[in-house]
Amino acid sequence: MAVDVSLFIDGAWRPGASGRTLDVINPATEDVIGTVARAEIADLDAALAAAQKGFAVWRAMSAFERGKILRRAAALLRERSEKIALIMTREQGKPVKEAKVEISVAADTLDWFAEEARRAYGRVVPARAPNITNLVLKEPVGPVAAFTPWNFPINQIARKLAAALAAGCSIIVKAPEEAPGSPAEFIRALADAGVPAGVVNLVFGVPAEISAHLIPHPLIRKISFTGSTAVGKELAALAGAHMKRATMELGGHAPAIVFNDADIDVALRVLVARKFRNAGQACTAPTRFLVQRDVYQNFLTRFVAATKALKIGDGLDSATDVGPLANPRRIAALESFVADAVKKGAKLIIGGTRQGHKGYFFAPTILAHVPTNARAMNEEPFGPIALVNSFESFDEAVTEANRLAYGLASYAFTSSAATADALARQIEAGMVAINDSHLSSPELPIGGVKDSGYGSEGGPEAMDAYLVTKLVTQAAG
Ligand code: NAD
């Protein structure tokens, strides 16, 4: 079942202007399973013109009508979930059950923002003189350029697109070349639901070429990027040079703090699931496990046992818990993180190597007593590697949690309300999950601080990113 993915521009599927394509590879087998069209500058210019036209149509439509179309798209996505999940798994590697959850969350995201469209309220501000009316209006910012990565091929788009469309913006999405099929199905659901031509446009190609053309372009009024901190800083600089508003959802290096008084069953359930979901390729995955001295050995022993019980395999196999990594770049990166940590004194408890000869499988890996100068303790591993260290005091744990420039997700486990309250105030992160793991629902703001980026996706905050404020002050008569 080869899937050949085209560009979607001005309401039509089409090849790139040059006819060139890129191969799509199944990470579980390394087979070429399809192609994706490669956009040239002429295609990007066509997408820009379409987005300009689409913006005029879409912003003129009532929020009520826009919401109806988004809800219809959500329903189509749910109807087509089985088929789209298989496409996602074959291209990206995650277990089908995870792909289905992702599609269901994307549908919920469309539904939630469909409602939020109707709540983009302005204000009436009391005037200082009689007969004056001060209105604060919220207007869509304009055509958006969104750059989304391969780890959650649909959801990374849904979070940006749902809010942008709800606000009345048009959008050009540069989706991941590694996993283009499910993003194309997501866009198809929107088109089939009645989104007018030009409102959503989908391109693939050479990421740096596309961002270098779209971000400075005068028609584009807002940028949203999800990906690594290094690339995010480049794109933010480009956006700044051209005075474009930007949302940056970048890397993380989440601490997971387990206190002596924690419910270890809960900590293990949450942390094993969050660590190895999507083979660890999530910006919110727990990475630095900090376990208080009295429970350290017990936690480590049980964490190792739970990790060993995970079944590694092709995501198409319903028994699989952990699929392959999405691309061979991650294998090389993870091997080098492990070698460096061991060289610097860490103890490799399990895993640490590629698994099998075919497919980009990497064994779930646990390293203990990892020194803070190990690269893995400082750079985002973005894979199935857990670093488990011990700590003595609350202050020591918080100092380590806040040591890095990253500040995206964080996790903590304690039965003390006082400890939980102190953590909530002192952890430098965009998200703090205490005895819990529910970080990414459509109604919740997701985003980072420090090098993890700026702006929120999810929640009413996400709408603000696509709205501009206009003051109208008017004297009667
Ligand atoms: P990468 O830094 O090369 O790319 C990350 C993402 O940015 C990819 O989707 C890529 O297509 C895109 N990209 C790269 N250069 C670009 C440019 N000039 N303009 C526009 N887009 C560009 O790394 P990678 O090997 O693909 O992924 C590994 C790293 O990326 C990880 O270490 C992780 O930090 C980060 N990442 C983060 C997320 C996230 O959810 N925040 C998702 C995927 C990858």
Question: Which whole number is the average pLDDT over 384-398?
Answer: 98
Going by pLDDT thresholds of 50, 70 and 90, the confidence category of residue 3 is confident
Q: How far is the CA of 271 from the centre of ligand 1 (A)?
A: 24
pLDDT value, residue 2: 65
Q: Say what the pLDDT of residue 383 is.
A: 97
CA of 227 to the centre of ligand 1 (A): 4
Residue 7's beta-bridge partner residues? 14
**Atom 8 of ligand 1, nearest CA residue:** 149
Handedness of CA 179, 185, 190, 196 (dihedral sign): positive
Name every residue whose Cβ is closer than 8 Å to that of residue 13 and which is 6 or more positions away in sequence. Answer: 6, 7
From 286, 243, 193, select the one nearest 185 (Cα to Cα).
193
Strand order in the sheet with 3-5: 3-5, 32-37, 21-25
3-state secondary structure of 275: helix
In this structure, the residue with its CA closest to atom 30 of ligand 1 is 228
Residue nearest to atom 10 of ligand 1 (CA): 149
Out of 249, 379, 380, 428, pick the active-site residue: 249
User: What pLDDT score was predicted for residue 440?
Assistant: 85
The 10 Å CB-count burial string (b at 16+, else e) for 279-304 is bbbbbbbbbbbbbbeebbeebbebbb
CA distances from 295 to 258, 302, 399 (A): 8, 11, 20
Tell me the two tokens of residue 270.
């949450």
Burial class (CB in 10 A: 0-12, 13-18, 19+), 343: exposed
Residue 227, ligand 1, Cβ within 6 A: yes
Q: How far is the CA of 17 from the centre of ligand 1 (A)?
A: 25
Question: How many CB atoms within 10 Å of residue 421?
Answer: 11
The partner residues of 248 in beta bridges, in order of sequence, read 225, 454
> With a 6 A CB cut-off, is 278 part of the ligand 1 pocket?
no
- Structure pTM? 0.97
Stated length of the chain: 477
Question: 3-state DSSP: the chain helix, strand, coil percent, rounded to 5?
Answer: 40, 20, 35
With a pLDDT cut of 90, the percent of the chain lying above it is 97
If you take atom 13 of ligand 1, which residue's CA is the nearest one? 207
Determine the pLDDT at residue 271: 98
Report the pLDDT averaged over residues 261-269: 98
| Residue 438 pLDDT class (50, 70, 90 cuts) | confident
Q: Which two tokens stand for residue 383?
A: 């894979």
How many angstroms separate the alpha carbon of residue 140 from the centre of ligand 1? 28
Task: Give residue-wise pLDDT tens across range 122-160.
Answer: 999 999 999 999 999 999 999 999 999 999 999 999 999
Crossing angle of helices 417-426 and 394-401, rounded to 10° = 30
pLDDT at position 26: 98
Distant-in-sequence, close-in-space partners of 80: CB < 8 Å, separation ≥ 6: 185, 189
Task: Calculate what percentage of the chain has a pLDDT beyond 70.
Answer: 100
State which ligand 1 atom lies nearest to the alpha carbon of 149.
9
176 ligand 1 Cβ < 6 A: yes
pLDDT at 1: 57
Q: How many whole angstroms from its chain centre is CA 271?
A: 19
> In the structure encoding, which two tokens stand for residue 149, read together?
């990565």
The whole-angstrom separation of Cα 448 and Cα 430 is 4
| Whether 178 is catalytic | no
Alpha carbon of 278 to ligand 1 centroid (Å): 16
In the block, which residue shows the tokens 């022993």? 301
396 is catalytic: no
pLDDT at 439: 87
Calculate the CA 353 to chain-centre distance: 26
Name the residue with the closest Cα to ligand 1, atom 7. Answer: 227
Cβ 414 vs Cβ 434: under 8 Å: yes
Domains of the chain, CATH where assigned: 3-250+452-473 (3.40.605.10), 254-442 (3.40.309.10)
Q: Which tens digits make up the pLDDT trace of 174-232?
A: 999 999 999 999 999 999 999 999 999 999 999 999 999 999 999 999 999 999 999 99
DSSP single-letter state for residue 207:
H
- Over residues 305-320, mean pLDDT: 97
Question: How buried is residue 373: exposed, middle or buried, by Cβ count under 10 Å (0-12/13-18/19+)?
Answer: exposed
The two structure tokens encoding residue 369 = 């007593």
Cα separation, 136 vs 145, in Å, equals 26
Q: Is the pLDDT of residue 477 over 80?
A: no
Q: Which atom of ligand 1 is nearest to the CA of 284?
A: 40
Burial 147-178 (b: 16+ CB within 10 A, else e): bbbbbbbbbbbbbbbbbbbbbbbbbbbbbbbb
Q: Cα of 124 to ligand 1 centre, how many Å? A: 43
Region 448-457: what's the mean pLDDT? 97
Distance 247 CA to ligand 1 centre (A): 15
Pocket perturbation via mutation, ligand 1, pick of 211, 220, 231 by most ligand atoms within 8 A of CB? 231
Does ligand 1 come within 6 angstroms of the Cβ of 251? yes
Instruction: Give the active site residue among 91, 177, 185, 283.
Output: 283
What average pLDDT does this structure show over 30-47? 98
Q: What is the pLDDT of residues 49-94, one digit of tens each?
A: 999 999 999 999 999 999 999 999 999 999 999 999 999 999 999 9
Are 286 and 271 within 8 A, CB to CB?
yes
Question: Which atom of ligand 1 is nearest the CA belonging to 282?
Answer: 40
